Structure 1
């Protein structure tokens, strides 16, 4: 690992440790787990289905953007995780116990956060009145993953950037096509 990556990892570990100490009680809250669960994959299908049913306008462009975005996001974040192979905090830090166990082995980038920001970006573009609320939710999904002990803050930042970039890409393709 190059020197700057080692320094970045050290900062990430220190910020993770600070978050865990500062918010130790909050990490045990069932609400934090619920927020994290709201970022699971099946929830997006449920949200889109409900939105489609309740919508008064055509949902096809948003659905196309989401399908395109997730079709790229899922294999891409898995590829990045397998390439970088960054251990999760509970695998690397001594005397640390995560609140939950993650679905997969590696932490970078956060798949939950990537998906949440992809969803927030696409849905926010087509429903601008809800953009702030959607990004607040996506940010809370990311924070919950740190508080539950399965991601470093850098994993969350990378997931937010990747999800936002994929939202812009998929919206651009759908809107211009």
Structure 2
């Protein structure tokens, strides 16, 4: 519990919550600085109008609209066998939507554009906290049963996840560590659940 509390304090990027000396503290400060520097790099990629609009569009699709595109594609590939996959994907999304706000309230990490005023937020946020990325987490959870049931879409799923990861950092809403954690948590939770659930249908 103490370890979790310490990490949560560090991820807030509040200097007063970090130990003032020690090898571990220095390494964590360097990690936080590198995380923020990466956001600046991604943010620059969204400065041209075309890529800025793309980043905004992908992020907005992650609010739920992307699933209206994914499910018809799934039915195209699997026919009516896609129904169980849709139900499992929806269950994963519901579970992860319950979990990630709890995790965010635990860590209370400020979004990059709140930490550094030089970073422009390209659109409104759904909540105030950064860690982990709910968009990356839920997209991964929805894609897990789809990939298991229809392996041919593995590459497309990877492209979707990477595109969402880029957009969330480019809009200055998340750090790279946020999206990596979101993807990892989404996969760790939804992959075994999806594999188990699919055994009843396939």
- TM-score of the pair, normalised by structure 1: 0.85
Equivalent residue for 2:52? 29
| Larger Rg computed on CA atoms | 2
CA distance in 1, matches of 2:41, 2:74: 42
3-state DSSP of counterpart to 1:39: helix
Say which SS state the counterpart of residue 86 (structure 1) adopts.
coil
Find 2:170's aligned residue among 141, 144, 147. Answer: 147
Change (3 A) 1:56 1:95: closer
Distance 1:82 1:115 in 2: 17
The runs of at least 4 aligned residues of structure 1 exceeding 4 Å deviation read 51-55
Pairing 1:1-177 to 2, within 5 Å after superposition: 1=10, 3=25, 4-25=27-48, 29-44=52-67, 46-47=68-69, 50-51=72-73, 54=76, 55-176=78-199
CA contact (8 A) 1:26 1:32 kept: no
How many Å apart are 1:143 and its aligned residue? 0.6
Q: How much has 1:136 moved relative to structure 2?
A: 0.6
Q: Which residue of 1 aligns with 2:7?
A: none
Residues 31, 94 of structure 1: CA spacing in aligned structure 2 closer, same or farther, 3 A cutoff? closer
SS at match of 1:103: coil
Q: Deviations over 1:141-175 (max 9, x none)?
A: 11111111111111111111112112212213303
Return the TM-score normalized by structure 2: 0.76
1:92-149 superposed Cα distances (whole Å, 9 cap, x missing partner): 1133221112111001111111111112222111111111111111110111111111
Kept in 2, the 8 Å contact 1:120–1:135? The answer is no
Q: How many residues align?
A: 176
Question: Could you tell me which residue of structure 1 aligns to residue 13 of structure 2?
Answer: none
**1 CA distance for matches of 2:115 and 2:42?**
16
Superposition RMSD in Å: 2.3
| Gapped regions of structure 2 (runs ≥ 5) | 1-9, 11-17, 19-24
SS of equivalent residue, structure 2 residue 193: helix
